Amino acid sequence: MAEQARNDILLISMPVHGIWITPNTPGSKVPSHGTSDFGESYAIDFVMLNEANNIKKPYRSSILRYIITGVPLNDFYGWGQTIYSPVEGEILAIENDVEERQKVNPFSDLEYMRKATKTFIATRKDPRIIAGNYVLIRINKGEYALLAHLVKGSVQVKKGERIKIGQIIGKLGHSGNSTMPHLHMQFMDSDDFNVAKGIPFRIREYDSPFA
């Protein structure tokens, strides 16, 4: 079911600093992740690049090594980068104890993603299967922000805490339904992933070195 039209667009700040690409973004298509389920219609992924890397790949190793043997988490420029709150609000829920897979490989991670998605759809109970370590923020009534795939033990906010824009939330990781270290961010109209509808948003300010 399509989301209801909104008279206003949620205005947010950038949750990351540095040079990033957004391989899955509502700026290119909606639903951005191929589904409107789980409040994902307008979800966006952030993957960090090295400004000096002309190939625009997110890891230091060769493409061949990444495909054949896989690379460790710290080979990715984005892994462990600080994540900042894009909104003001109240911390509604957090998860901070999900282990990350220590080696990143496209084939094994895609297989994990397939199994994790199937399990979550079947159970509809445990968002950690999909989101890994995450922070869920209540912005206002009917407006919620999810920041997912964080590093285990890196979450720096607590349930019930009021947070401000730009406050440190945690570190970017590879937990949950992730094909490489990245930040998954989405806005939705409910804290229940089973019924949530995605909310469109607009980023206040950012620079584009690739324009």
Could you tell me the pTM of the whole model? Answer: 0.91
* Cα(197)–Cα(78) distance, integer angstroms: 28
Q: Note whether residue 88 is domain-resident.
A: yes
pLDDT single digits (tens) 24-82: 999 999 999 888 888 999 999 999 998 776 678 999 999 999 999 999 999 999 999 99
Question: 27 is in which domain, residue-wise?
Answer: 10-203
pLDDT single digits (tens) 81-108: 999 999 999 999 999 999 999 999 999 8
Q: Note whether residue 208 is domain-resident.
A: no
Across the beta sheet with 162-163, what order do the strands follow?
20-21, 44-48, 183-188, 143-150, 133-140, 89-95, 162-163
Q: Note whether residue 1 is domain-resident.
A: no
* Cα(95)–Cα(190) distance, integer angstroms: 18
Average pLDDT over residues 103-119: 86
Query: Residue 39: how many CB atoms within 10 A of its CB?
Result: 24
Q: Note whether residue 211 is domain-resident.
A: no
One DSSP character per residue, 69-120 reads T-EEGGGBSSTT-EEE-SS-EEEEEEE--PPPPSEE-HHHHHHHHHHHHHHH
pLDDT at 110: 87
Q: Note whether residue 106 is domain-resident.
A: yes
What is the number of alpha carbons within 13 Å of residue 168 lying toward its C-beta?
9
Q: Note whether residue 5 is domain-resident.
A: no
Q: Note whether residue 162 is domain-resident.
A: yes
Of 174, 210, 201, 150, nearest in space to 19 by CA: 210
What is the number of alpha carbons within 13 Å of residue 114 lying toward its C-beta?
6
pLDDT at 87: 98
Cβ atoms of residues 14 and 203 within 8 Å: yes
Residue entry with tokens 């795939």: 149
The chain-wide mean pLDDT, for the chain, equals 90
Q: Could you give the number of structural domains in the chain?
A: 1
Q: Note whether residue 105 is domain-resident.
A: yes
Average pLDDT over residues 168-173: 98
Beta-carbon contacts of residue 54 (< 8 Å; ≥ 6 apart): none
- Answer yes or no: is pLDDT of 209 > 70: no
pLDDT at 211: 55
CATH number, position 35: 2.70.70.10
